[in-house]
């Protein structure tokens, strides 16, 4: 009997779960899980999914309990994990952007720089990351692990905090100001070294990576399609800020062509009127699931 091949992948459970499931779906993998499930189903018989806290994924990938996983660069650094970084995946729960670990203090604090924290107390979930940062700055401060609600601990319990932020809104809401940036982090698709050396697993990991990167690349782009007279192609091409030269195909009507191009969604509202002005007709904007370079 032929041995069933499986690639075990760890996905982050919690705040990034919904964004990760959405990205996986656009990549072509439909995952279904109830609120208490740690082993969701996926419509790929070669994948086995585990939902685990992002803080722990790199540790279990390094140990080989997971073949691969998606986690933050910050947790790879925090855990000191020796893993293969297959791909950088720039996404977060609030959008397509990196996140930052920042050093923050109360608005009324006299602390103005990292150097002012010498001999002070700092609370954070990322203890190792913070200690390395302070060591690089030559600052000797007490760093304690925070089990949660870190923002409310300053100034009564600690002098400062090191906390993860996307927009800084939570810090401002708690009357905290940023003193320094500790680390910028993005999500990474990582693999276990042994799995990476196994031909079938490496090929499957690379397949998933290509599709994930393609799904993220498509997030900010759309496909524009239009018809035009053949002698207007060069003029229209000059308006289109495409990834490459637009695709041009002849139509059934003599002297007419169909033009299509992938463009950044942010420029569409500016260029559609310009395209119309130089002769484009029947302009259609279509969303994309994946863009593979």
pLDDT digits (tens, 9 = 90+) for 187-198: 999 999 999 999
Q: Are residues 164 and 20 in the same domain?
A: no
Say whether 134 sits in a helix, a strand or coil: helix
Between vectors from CA 190 to CA 186 and to CA 196, what angle results, nearest 5°? 155
Residue 127 located in a structural domain: yes
Q: Are residues 71 and 194 in the same domain?
A: yes
Using alpha carbons, select from 68, 102, 103, 97 the residue that is nearest to residue 83. 68
DSSP bridge partners of 165: 100
Q: Which domain holds residue 166?
A: 99-184
CA distances from 151 to 110, 125, 166 (A): 18, 11, 14
Between vectors from CA 87 to CA 86 and to CA 92, what angle results, nearest 5°? 135
Domain boundary among 169, 195, 218: 218
Q: Mind listing the pLDDT tens digit for each residue in 103-124?
A: 999 999 999 999 999 999 999 9
Q: What is the pTM of this model?
A: 0.84
Q: Are residues 71 and 31 in the same domain?
A: yes
Phi first, then psi: give them for residue 273, nearest 5 degrees. -60, -35
Q: Are residues 64 and 197 in the same domain?
A: yes
DSSP state of 56: H
Q: Are residues 92 and 18 in the same domain?
A: yes
> How confident is the model at residue 243, as a pLDDT?
64
Which one has a higher pLDDT value, 289 or 1? 289
Q: Are residues 78 and 201 in the same domain?
A: yes
Q: Are residues 65 and 202 in the same domain?
A: yes
As for how many domains the chain has, the answer is: 3
Q: Mind listing the pLDDT tens digit for each residue in 182-235?
A: 999 999 999 999 999 999 999 999 999 999 999 998 988 999 999 999 999 999
Q: Are residues 138 and 250 in the same domain?
A: no
* pLDDT for residue 94 is more than 80: no
Q: Is beta strand 160-165 parallel, antiparallel or unpaired with respect to 84-89?
A: unpaired
Can you list the pairs that 105-109 forms with residues at least 24 positions away whose Cβ atoms lie under 8 Å?
105/154, 105/155, 105/159, 105/160, 105/161, 105/176, 105/177, 105/179, 106/154, 106/155, 106/175, 106/176, 106/177, 107/175, 107/176, 107/177, 108/155, 108/175, 109/154, 109/155, 109/159, 109/160
């Amino acid at each position: 009997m032929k041995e069933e091949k499986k690639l075990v992948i760890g996905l982050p459970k919690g705040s990034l779960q919904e964004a990760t499931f959405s990205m996986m779906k656009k990549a072509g993998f439909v995952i279904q899980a109830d609120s208490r499930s740690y082993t969701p189903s996926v419509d790929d018989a070669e994948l086995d999914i585990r939902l685990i806290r992002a803080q722990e994924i790199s540790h279990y990938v390094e140990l080989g309990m997971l073949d691969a996983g998606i986690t933050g660069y910050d947790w790879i650094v925090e855990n000191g994990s020796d893993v293969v970084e297959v791909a950088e995946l720039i996404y977060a729960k609030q959008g397509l952007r990196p996140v930052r670990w920042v050093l923050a203090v109360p608005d009324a604090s006299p602390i103005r720089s990292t150097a002012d924290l010498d001999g002070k107390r700092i609370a954070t979930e990322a203890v190792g990351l913070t200690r390395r940062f302070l060591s690089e700055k030559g600052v000797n401060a007490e760093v304690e692990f925070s089990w949660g609600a870190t923002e409310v601990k300053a100034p009564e319990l600690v002098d400062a905090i090191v906390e993860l932020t996307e927009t800084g809104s939570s810090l401002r809401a708690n009357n905290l100001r940023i003193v320094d940036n500790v680390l910028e982090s993005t999500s990474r698709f990582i693999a276990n070294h042994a799995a990476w050396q196994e031909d079938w697993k490496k090929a499957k990991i690379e397949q998933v990576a290509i599709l994930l990167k393609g799904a993220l690349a498509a997030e900010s782009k759309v496909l524009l399609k239009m018809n035009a007279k053949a002698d207007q192609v060069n003029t229209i091409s000059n308006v289109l800020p495409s990834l490459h030269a637009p695709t041009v195909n002849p139509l059934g009507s003599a002297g007419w062509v169909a033009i299509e191009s992938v463009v950044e969604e942010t420029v569409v509202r500016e260029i559609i009127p310009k395209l119309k002005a130089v002769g484009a007709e029947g302009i259609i904007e279509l969303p994309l699931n994946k863009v593979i370079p």
